[in-house]
Chain A
Amino acid sequence: MASISPYGKRFISYIRQSQIRRLVGSGVRIDGRTPHQLRDVSIRTNVVNTADGSAEALLGKTRVVAGVKVGLGQPFPDTPDEGVLIVNAEILPHASPYSEIGPPDETAIELARVVDRGIRHSGFVDFKKLAIDQNKVYVLWVDLYVLNDDGNLVDAANLAALAALRSTMLPSAVKDEAGVKLDRNNKTALPSDLSKAPIAVSIGKIDSRIIVDPNLEEELSLDGRITITIAQDSIVSMQKTAGYFTEQELWQAVDLAYSIRDKLRDVLLKSLV
């Protein structure tokens, strides 16, 4: 399987593209935002009662639902005393005219892996507390469902994943002669530390102007795009996707990511009270 330049319905006219680029050049955006302004963000938890944890994040019109199911499994050999995190993303055929049915494509796989790396390296979930015994640990399956793609899936999916994990109730592990089983009638909160929540901030570049939270049409008009994930004071994950950045532009992007992180974290905290 190889990575192929995107084709098909993911299309924007040159006139629309040049309009978007011209507007950004003069400090405004196609949807009326300023370059460093987020779209409206809202997060709701416990949106699916069959899941062990769930949340929905809206970033403008981008809508992502995250569902957590808790299972049992074996630890990875190099981390025998830690639980396991598995993040999967599905960009549903509902999400846009260009998304198709089928197994996750490279965009969905990258989305899942970027969210996964942020959570894994931040200390947000205490994986040590998810070990049950020598060869049984909790497995956290996080499924990210993109219902509508209006750009910047990563930031929205990341917020949905954090809120879903934060709302996750861990079934207790019951041991008997047959082995370990989960008791879903007896649950406790998943051990997590909100102060360590990894916040993904995606930054776009048009010429040398930096914008935050690009919408879909903007994404199709960018010269560069990067996602910077920050937990506490550290950068825990980065992923440059389209185009390029000079060193100078990179420093601007990182500075901007730190300030946007604060805003997104406030929204997350408010939504979880």
Chain B
Amino acid sequence: MKQPPVPLLVEGRRADGRAPDQMRDVRISVGVISNADGSAMVSYGNTTAVAAVYGPREMHPRHLSLPDKAVMRVRYHMAPFSTKDERKNPAPSRREIEISKVLREALEPAIFLEQFPRSRIDVFVEIVQADGSTRVASLTAASLALADAGVPMRDLVIGVSVGLVNGVVVLDLNGLEDNYGEGDMPVGYMPNLGRITLLQLDGAWSRDRFAEAVKLAVKGAEYVYGKAREALKAKYFEIAEEVAK
């Protein structure tokens, strides 16, 4: 086992002072890129993801379009300056390619793709700052950007991670816990429909710990969902307040 530079958990407190079931500071804003049809920026602590949605729009090249539904294209990418250590090579890594697929398959169950045959919906997510849980922050940002674009969808998809640190199930792994913890489980959750659309896991989890982790992930997703609603509301309430003046 790798040794962390500081203890990950001391008397029920994590290295950054959080309780095991506590999210980092969650900051969300919607409509951050005016050129995009929809956009959102989501930060979980020091992890920041920016998502932009274009579409539904024409599919090019046309022979790649689908006759019965829209094609969804998702790119997850990390900025070369987003990592703490060395510069990240901007060429897409195997990890980024896999995460792009996992995110697409987490979003597709939420979107009414069948309403837009022969079209394409593009979702681009850029990690500008990475400190663990990047794929789940990306998922929250992507689903908010899709909502902001008015793409018909069943529900938002909120991403949170849970992990195993010194045998304890914790919410929202930071980079340190991601590197030195015993397990990592990113989850994507539709809060209104109670459906899990992203689930990955690694490490060594007993069945009980896994069950506990799913419960905690759902609880965390519900908390982030509250913040996501506030961010969506803000856009419309700010205008309402301005009008009232």
Contacts and interface: CB of A to CB of B under 8 A. Distances in A.
Interface of A: 1-5, 7, 78-79, 106-107, 109-110, 112-113, 117, 120-122, 226, 231, 233-247, 250-251, 254, 258
Ranked 5 nearest A-B pairs via Cβ: A2-B75, A238-B201, A3-B100, A240-B199, A244-B195
Interface stretch (B25-33, B34-42, B203-211): B203-211
Interface in B211-233: 211, 214, 218
B71 A247 contact: no
A240 B108 CA distance: 13
Contacts of A241: 105
A1 B100 contact: yes
Given A238-B201, A242-B105, A244-B190, 14 more contacts: A3-B75, A3-B104, A4-B71, A4-B104, A106-B97, A110-B101, A110-B102, A117-B202, A120-B202, A235-B205, A243-B105, A245-B199, A246-B194, A258-B207
Given A2-B74, A251-B211, A254-B210, A245 B196 contact: yes
A237 B201 contact: yes
B161 interface: no
Contact of B214 (A79, A109, A244, A247): A247
B115 interface: no
B185 interface: yes
Given A5-B71, A240-B196, A254 B207 contact: yes
Contact of B200 (A107, A239, A242): A239
Contacts of A122: 204
B49 interface: no
B194 A240 contact: no
Interface of B: 2, 64-66, 69-75, 92, 94-98, 100-106, 108-109, 113, 122, 124, 179, 183, 185, 190, 194-207, 210-211, 214, 218
Determine which residue in B100, B201, B211 has the highest number of CB atoms from chain A within 10 A of its CB, and name it: B201
> B interface, by DSSP: helix, strand, loop or mixed?
mixed
B202 A5 contact: no
Contacts of B96: 1
A23 B65 CA distance: 31
A238 B210 CA distance: 11
A107 B108 CA distance: 16
Given A106-B100, A110-B98, A5 B201 contact: no
A235 B100 contact: no
Given A245-B199, A247-B194, A254-B207, A2 B73 contact: yes
Contacts of A109: 94, 97-98, 101
Given A121-B202, A121-B204, A244-B195, A5 B108 contact: yes
B221 to A, nearest CB: 12
A245 B97 CA distance: 23
A200 B100 CA distance: 22
A234 B203 CA distance: 9
25 contacts: A1-B92, A2-B74, A3-B73, A3-B104, A4-B71, A4-B104, A5-B70, A5-B104, A5-B113, A79-B2, A106-B100, A110-B98, A113-B94, A120-B202, A121-B204, A122-B204, A233-B207, A235-B206, A237-B202, A239-B102, A239-B200, A240-B197, A241-B105, A250-B196, A250-B199
Contacts of B97: 1, 3, 106, 109
B9 to A, nearest CB: 20
A231 B179 CA distance: 22
Nearest to B96: A1
B60 to A, nearest CB: 12
B203 A240 contact: no
A43 to B, nearest CB: 25
Contacts of B106: 240
Contacts of A113: 94-95, 98
Given A113-B94, A238-B199, A246-B194, A1 B75 contact: yes
Given A113-B94, A240-B199, A247 B218 contact: yes
